[in-house]
Amino acid sequence: APIARAYRKFFAKMQEEKPHVIFVASAGNAGNADKTTGALNGINDCPAGIAMPNVITVASINNDGSRAEFSGFATGDGEVTLAAPGVQMVVGVDENGQPIKKNGKSYSAPQVSAAIALIQSINPELNAGQIKELLVATAAPGVTTGNQSIPIPEGLGAGVLRVDEAVLKTIND
């Protein structure tokens, strides 16, 4: 709790003094399949899970839209803002030219950071809260493959990051 209060105080001060600065936190890799670990309550894994206008917490999903087993998720007063892919991410090629694939939240959060950079390059006047609202408003409620749509599981935020929709809305606005 004292660490969470310190983070909240810091983020509140940043929001006041630097309203255009936004922080992206990973929901973490402490989850497991049966959800007995990985629950974010806004206190236990800071800065992840803190519900503030200038903080975005990102969960990892599988390619089908289900929660990546390792990903944290929101409970109680915790917040996961968005989800982004974090499983079977191509990170390079091996000596035979075959893709090297990795899993982890380290692949989800940077996608949101990159989307924010694109949005800010289009409209640098948007503050952190407006960017967060934009990403939430343009998130897809699930993953569609073929004719099947799988909704984002509970605790993984507003939906899946849609960089294309967020950028288009920023341009149109």
pLDDT tens, residue by residue, 113-164:
999 999 999 999 999 999 999 999 999 999 988 888 889 999 999 999 999 9
Judged against a pLDDT cut of 80, whether residue 165 lies above it is answered with yes
Q: What mean pLDDT do residues 30-55 have?
A: 85
Helix (H) or strand (E) holding 15: helix 2-17
The model carries a pTM of 0.91
User: Cβ(24)–Cβ(105) under 8 Å?
Assistant: no
Task: Could you list the beta-strand ranges (E) of 10-164.
Answer: 23-26, 39-40, 55-61, 73-74, 82-85, 89-93, 99-102, 142-145, 148-151
Determine the Cα–Cα distance for residues 161 and 173; give it in Å rounded to an integer: 19
104: which 2 tokens? 């982890």
Judged against a pLDDT cut of 90, whether residue 170 lies above it is answered with yes
Average pLDDT in the chain: 92
